[in-house]
Amino acid sequence: MIILFGYSKLAAQLAYRLKTDNKKFCIIEPDDHCIKFAIADNYTSEIYNYECYDDKELLSLGIDSKVKTIFCMHNDFNLNLFVTLSARNLNKNIQIISYCKDINESKKLKLAGANTTINPYETAGLKIFRQIHKPMAVKILDDILYKNTPLDIQEILITPNCTLNGKSFDSIDLFEKHNLIFLGIQDKEISNEFIFSSRKINHKIDDGDVIVILGNKTDIKNLKKDINL
């Protein structure tokens, strides 16, 4: 389950994409005026007119259990901040993605517990820059991420009974065998930082780590079968 808090212009776009992706989500909008837009856009998902000052409202939607992600996309920064803090307080593991307009807002939201902040001005500026700086790379990655190509970038969580568990980078020839590119790993033990495979640190893979691979969808499926996932 996904919660979309606030029905701003950005949220409207996001709701559209979530719907196209067949994701299940509900919308919370405290403002009577804005809620009309959400209703007008005709989503079959549930729409709640909650203010979210009371934790009970969020709890009633299952924020501490079935909700995996909450998008705080309200136009009012303080409201976003408030809901971000509430959500983090109610659920340590929830993914919180919040909308901000500048770097100071982003800092505060992260302090309140947001995993990621989205600044539309920044993303647009960066997007234009990347298209100038690395047009091909951007196109390839965009295609892989958003277009329906056979290629995919996937992250694989290593479980205790996965065959890769306990092995080191060097001893794995599985990726080559499946024609996959191993981009890197996020090691819970060291830090949350992503380590690119090209750094060539001989690293041991443990359960709880996340590895990121690039390749054909079918090849990735086969790999997963091979490593017992």
* Residues of the shown chain interacting with another protein in the complex, contacts defined by CB under 8 A: 2, 9-10, 12-14, 16-18, 21, 23, 69, 71, 95, 97, 99, 101-102, 115-116, 118-134, 136-141, 143, 145-146, 151, 153-155, 179, 181-184, 186, 193-194, 196-200, 210, 212, 214-216
Q: How far is the CB of 54 from another protein (least distance, A)?
A: 26
Please provide the DSSP assignment of 53-118 as one string. -SHHHHHHTTTTTT--EEEE--S-HHHHHHHHHHHHHH-TT-EEEEE-SSHHHHHHHHHHT-SEEE
Cβ closer to another protein: 200 or 225?
200
67 vs 89: CA distance, rounded Å = 14
* Sign of the alpha-carbon torsion through 17, 70, 102, 122: negative
Residue 22 or 56 having the CB closest to another protein? 22
For another protein, the closer of residues 183 and 227 by Cβ is 183
Element (H, E) at 153: strand 151-157
Min dist CB 113 to another protein, Å, is 15
Task: State the CB neighbour count (10 A cutoff) for residue 75.
Answer: 16
Which CB sits closer to another protein, 54 or 217?
Answer: 217
Q: How far apart are CA 62 and CA 219, in angstroms?
A: 36
The amino acid occupying position 126 is L
If the CB atoms of residues 48 and 187 are measured against another protein, the closer one turns out to be 187
The pair of structure tokens assigned to 48 is 């709640």
- For residues 193 and 176, give the distance between their C-alpha atoms in angstroms, rounded to a whole number: 25
Measured from the CB of residue 210, what is the shortest distance to another protein in angstroms? 5
CB of 171 to another protein, least distance (A): 16
CB atoms within 10 A of CB 216: 15
Minimum CB–partner distance for residue 56 and another protein (Å)? 26
- Nearer Cβ to another protein (55/110): 110
Output the smallest distance, CB 135 to another protein, in A: 8
